[in-house]
Amino acid sequence: MTRNYHQLSSDKVLSELQTTDLGLNNEEVKARLAKFGHNVLTEQKSTTLLQKFISQFKDLMIIILMIAAVIAFFAGDASDAVIIFLVVVLNAAFGVFQEAKAENAINALKEMTTPSSRVRRDDSIQIIKSSELVPGDIVLLEAGDIIPADLRFIKANSLKIEEAALTGESVPVDKNDLSIETEKLPIGDRHNLGYMNTNVTYGTGEGVVTATGMQTEVGHIANMLNSVDKSITPLQKSIIHLSKILSVLVLVIAALVFVIGIVADRASILEMLLTSISLAVAAIPEGLPAIVTITLALGTQAMAKRNALIRKLPAVETLGTTEIIASDKTGTLTQNKMTVEKIYQNTRLQDAHKVDLNLKNRLAQIMILANDSQKSDQGLVGDPTETALIQYYLDKKLPVDDVAREFPRVTSLPFDSNRKLMSVVVSNNEQQLIMTKGAVDELLKRTTKIEEDGKVRELTEKDNEQILNTNHALAQQALRVLAFAYTPVQGIDSTSSYESSEIENDLIFVGMIGMIDPERPEAKDAVAEAKKAGIRPIMITGDHKDTATAIAKRLQIIDGKDSRVITGNELDQLSTEQLDATVEQYSVYARVAPEHKVRIVKAWQKKGKIVAMTGDGVNDAPALKTADIGVGMGITGTEVSKNASDIVLADDNFATIIVAVKEGRKVFANIQKAIQYLLSANLGEVLTLFFMTMLGWDIFAPAQILWINLVTDTFPAIALGVEKAEANMMENKPRGNKSSFFGDGVMSSIFYQGLLEGGLTLGVYQLALTFPFHNSYELIHADALTMAFATLGLIQLFHAFNSKSIHGSIFRKDLFNNRMFNWSILISGILLFATIFVPAFNDTFKVTPLAPQQWLVVLIGGLMMLVIVEIVKLFQRLILKK
């Protein structure tokens, strides 16, 4: 097939691609998908499980340890060599598990945020994943869409495409469906072609797919690059940097242990080498970046289940710091559908849900008949105001179709912005009636009578004043008010045309209704929760000031005494400096254009605030990118706005943003818990071995060091990453943009808890020497070392419970609410103590069976860790309260 599609007519292109403007059928789509593949750019091939396993052995320290183990094996120390090999292989297997789990979670995230396209297939419009497009598909486009593949336009209505990504030309290009004679043209001059990943900025169009995936223009560029950027988040970078610093410190300590051990003749050079390398391998937190990745990825999956789709991992980190949420009103804070709230008839105003109406009521008949709404498979279609009038009766389960059958329409006078009225003429066997709805003041000019309790009488000045006062009162509540009237007519037929002055006269007033796009039921609670969490909700809307103010008051974004509302026109009168100085005064921005959003975001950011901003239109994209967290709308949002966002709300709901913030805070807290646990445990191991060496005591065997690190560090740390949110999570203020994982007392906790672990382990060792259970010198020291080994392991298991909350007490009813954590502690405990309780393992791990009294000492040593840390946390809470 030719690639010079710009030279061919639309019909010829369709013929070349063996398709029609009705689209492909499903069988042909399957065949072409098999032939051309999915419409995706080729990524770097993912590594196999074997490759992942082999890569675990590329670490220099692991290689040195393996070499030392081989030397030990041939030197006659087979048990140490075997256990080292076993631990290294198990550690590698667990590393593969971590890497695969993180990769699967991230792939699931990509799947959830796959762009979609509207296509015509089998002569019907379908929404499909863009990855499933094939050459010959007919794609429908409108402003805000991202072009999903290379296209030849077959229809173009005022179509403009922004192609800066390919051509560097920032001005949108006008597109048409006309063929071009010139054969060789630059990409920017092919005005009948569209290219993958460019943006529709204006108009509508249809195009036939000419190329997908790597065959597109973007695909050719991707081919030349020949690599895929595997960027990591700022958090992961900082964790990797921390790991490198700690690795250097651990290597220095390991070198000291080796040198001191040799000088003091603690053991042979080979034994000290194995011990020092084992210490380094165990103490370096190489699993920390993987734990962070898994926690972040699992956090995104949890958010997705709550309708918040995270498109970029760094957004998870930033969510917990959010201080300002600037939200659109319509559809996000409100339901995006007009609803009848008040009804005025018979000179009385009532709440709509309290009115007992039947379809013989004249007001009900006019609301239904003076209406151009149509029923469809998707529900009512038409002007939102008119659909609301009929929906009011449908919600009451009243047969509105019976009214239309009883009073068939003869003719109508459409709404006119000058007279602000709309009328229909209906007829039944008895009479003809003109039914009119419109603006209150305009309708009253044409009204002479009023219907009250089924009786018609003259409209008095008092009636007129009461109607106008009620209208004003409803308008003050930001309700949209419509008035309704009717009058009998004669001789109106459907073939003639009529002027308003001929028939819209001498009307009988029957009532008014007040309607509004009401707030979402859950939005008020979400706003309250945001405020409680120290987050300031801000409303930004294109709606009128009165409407915005009313909804803001109903949601308690502002209170009754607060008039912090500014309009777009007033915003234009403020200089950048003036807005920067006064931005904190306003919580509601009304009648604003999308370009105002960027100014608002920047003004708040200059105050040092972390800003989340919602948007759904093409023009919102700059504000979404400027904000610290760009929040796109999944239902009403354009593809451009979604692409510019960090998060997409599948339900367009403000409450979902608060859910995402809560989840973001939880993810941060869980990573913080894992970091504190891992680093304090590793510090405890390093200090124990270092002081054992300095004091001239027997030291842990390499197998003991590696085994403790494998079974008591990794499993609980991973489990801490999936802890449930603490009860008071949303009662704390946002962390702010200068927050650190080592803030809030975490760094000091790591040091004192590491020292405490080491001190308690050494204390048990000394106690075992002071009050020996045997007379034999060798058995005394063997028991002491075994008790220290068991104590260090048990301390870390108890400390894992401490780490379930940085400052909160663990003595609460939800202590065991994390099933994964419970299993990790149980499995770790079994693996640790199996080395002592199972005789076959005693020689391998160089441990001895312990008597009940010795186990009691070990248990008390372990429990002391839990008790002391909880006492310290109690004092921390008391100090924080002050």
Instruction: Please compute, for residue 545, the number of CA atoms within 13 A of its CA located in the half-sphere on the CB side.
Output: 10
- Lowest mean pLDDT of 51-65, 448-462, 719-733, name the range: 51-65
CB atoms within 10 A of CB 653: 24
- Helix, coil or strand: residue 847: coil
Report pLDDT for 171.
Answer: 64
The string of pLDDT tens digits covering residues 783-832 is: 999 999 999 999 999 999 998 888 888 887 778 888 989 999 999 999 99
Report pLDDT for 736.
Answer: 65
Cα–Cα separations (whole angstroms), residue 787 to 114, 130, 681, 712, 864: 55, 62, 17, 16, 15
What is the C-alpha to C-alpha distance for residues 820 and 519, in angstroms, rounded to an integer? 40
Cβ pair 40, 213 in contact under 8 A: yes
The CATH class that applies to domain 322-334+520-647 reads alpha beta
Q: Choose which CATH entry (3.40.50.20, 2.60.300.12, 2.70.150.10, 2.60.40.420) describes domain 5-39+133-225.
A: 2.70.150.10
Q: Active-site residue 328, yes or no?
A: yes
What is the C-alpha to C-alpha distance for residues 357 and 350, in angstroms, rounded to an integer? 12
590 pairs with which residues across the strands? Answer: 567
- Lowest mean pLDDT of 200-204, 241-245, 418-422, 794-798, name the range: 241-245
Report pLDDT for 71.
Answer: 60
Cβ pair 352, 341 in contact under 8 A: yes
CB atoms within 10 A of CB 720: 27
Local confidence band at 343 (pLDDT 50, 70, 90 cut-offs)? very high
Which one of 187-191, 564-568, 572-576, 842-846 scores highest in mean pLDDT? 572-576
Local confidence band at 428 (pLDDT 50, 70, 90 cut-offs)? confident
Amino acid at 275: T
Task: Find the helix or strand (DSSP H, E) in which 569 lies.
Answer: helix 568-572
Mean pLDDT of all residues in 310-319: 75
What radius of gyration do the chain's Cα atoms show?
Answer: 36
Q: Do domains 53-101+233-301+661-881 and 339-515 have the same CATH topology?
A: no
The CATH class that applies to domain 339-515 reads alpha beta
The string of pLDDT tens digits covering residues 67-119 is: 656 665 655 555 556 666 665 676 566 556 655 654 554 455 444 445 788 89
Nearest to 317 by CA among 337, 334, 297: 297
More confidently predicted of 483 and 181: 483
516 pairs with which residues across the strands? Answer: 339
Mean pLDDT of all residues in 768-780: 80
Q: Which residue has the tokens 């990825």?
A: 297
Which pairs with CB-CB distance under 8 Å and at least 24 residues apart come from 100-109?
A: 100/49, 100/52, 101/294, 101/297, 102/290, 102/293, 102/294, 102/297, 103/46, 105/294, 105/297, 105/298, 105/300, 105/301, 106/293, 106/297, 106/313, 108/301, 109/297, 109/300, 109/301, 109/304, 109/310, 109/313
The string of pLDDT tens digits covering residues 838-881 is: 998 888 788 899 999 999 999 999 999 999 999 998 888 887 66
What is the C-alpha to C-alpha distance for residues 593 and 540, in angstroms, rounded to an integer? 9
pLDDT over threshold 70, residue 229 = no
Among candidate residues 328, 517, 543, 628, the one labeled active-site is 328
Report pLDDT for 226.
Answer: 42
Domains of the chain, by residue range, sit at 5-39+133-225, 53-101+233-301+661-881, 322-334+520-647, 339-515
Cβ pair 183, 4 in contact under 8 A: yes
CB atoms within 10 A of CB 172: 18
What is the C-alpha to C-alpha distance for residues 354 and 522, in angstroms, rounded to an integer? 23
Cβ pair 639, 115 in contact under 8 A: yes
Per the CATH hierarchy, to which homologous superfamily does domain 53-101+233-301+661-881 belong? Answer: Calcium-transporting ATPase, transmembrane domain (1.20.1110.10)
Nearest to 474 by CA among 525, 547, 526, 365: 547
